[in-house]
Amino acid sequence: MSFDSEMESLNLKSNMTLKMVEVEGVPFFNTIAENWDSIWSFKARPDDLIICTYPKSGTTWMQEIVDMIQQGGDPQKCARAPIYTRIPLLEMCPPRPRSFGFELAEAMPSPRSIKTHLSVQLLPPSFWQHNCKIIYVARNVKDCAVSYFYFHLMHSYFPEPGNWNQFLDIFTAGKVFWGSWFDHVRGWWEAKDHHPILYLFYEDIKEDPVREICKIAQFLGLELSEQVVNQIVQHTVFENMKVNPWVNYTTLSPSIMDHTVSPFMRKGTVGDWKEHFTVAQSEWLDDICARELEGSGLTFRTHL
């Protein structure tokens, strides 16, 4: 089946479903492709902080951790706006009248934190020119795929994912929005040798949030007391984020995200993939992963 006919076979869920158009070989929402010149020419500032991930890798978790660190562990200050306004997704171009991510970012006072899912070669050059700090979070491919599958079901901009087997094929081939997981995690891993990039793993944060929060604070040049670290851990633990409207996306219209189909804060665990993968699918993806990441030194944990 050709790429185009495969895409057509992904049924449009509603009149809000966005089309898939490639930018430099990476599939995006058509609205992102149409506004690519504005995204690519985005003007960074030297004190910008980028939070970068492949979709469904713990972005929102990292956004709230970073904001809590910057607000000295005060949850009231983090309740000033929903997470997607406090730390906008740079390349997001939702249907009007909603603002585009780069417009929100342009209007923000410094210092700004900005979210992106762009792969390394597509990050606007101004961020490299200004040597902006970047926090990258990677999550193992199996849990990431499962989380992305459910996100397709509940988010109206995404097409119907088909059944799990069909989605896994498309995901593994990189024919999903924001492209190949393998290229993404590997590209950013290699970039960290030349730029100020703190490369973190979802599984590590889950295992020892205190350790990882201290790493982040150090990277940001901030000192936190033990008490503040513990407040941040408590505030950002999955069970609390799940019921926090400032981070759980329930403030978006249900016509965009339908949490009754699958909540944004779904499981928040390492190893949920075991409920979805057959043994054959798991071994198949292990082989692809080993091949795609060969020689990079990059390894992932799929259980704790």
Phi/psi at 166 (nearest 5 deg)?
Answer: -65, -45
Interface pick for ligand PPS out of 12, 47, 165, 238 (rule CB under 6 A):
238
Our answer to whether residue 117 is catalytic in this structure is yes
Tokens 């949030």 sit at which residue?
209
Q: Which residue in this structure is represented by tokens 């991930």? A: 53
CA gap 216, 218 in Å, rounded = 5
**Stretch of 5-13, 71-79, 190-198, 234-242 lying at the interface with ligand PPS (CB under 6 A):** 234-242
Q: Is 267 in the site for ligand PPS (CB under 6 A)?
A: yes
**Distance (Å, whole) CA 51 – CA 243:** 23
Residue 71, φ and ψ in degrees, nearest 5: -95, 15
Binding segment toward ligand PPS, per CB under 6 A, in 35-43, 180-188, 250-258, 259-267: 259-267
Figure out which of the listed residues 29, 61, 100, 127 binds ligand PPS, where binding follows CB under 6 A. Answer: 61
* Binder among 55, 101, 159, 187 for ligand PPS (CB under 6 A): 55
CB atoms within 10 A of CB 80: 11
Residue 113 contacts ligand PPS per CB under 6 A: no
- 140 touches ligand PPS (CB under 6 A): no
How many angstroms separate the CA atoms of 279 and 271, rounded? Answer: 14
Would you say 3 or 238 has its CB closer to ligand PPS? 238
DSSP-based three-state secondary structure for 260: coil
Q: Among the candidate windows 54-62, 74-82, 104-112, 222-230, which touches ligand PPS by CB under 6 A?
A: 54-62
Is residue 266 part of the contact set for ligand PPS (CB under 6 A)? yes
Could you give the CA distance from residue 164 to residue 149 in angstroms, rounded to a whole number? Answer: 7
Of 117, 152, 184, 235, the active-site residue reads 117
Contact residues: ligand PPS, CB under 6 A: 53, 55-61, 143, 147, 150, 236, 238, 241, 265-268, 272
Active site positions, annotated:
117
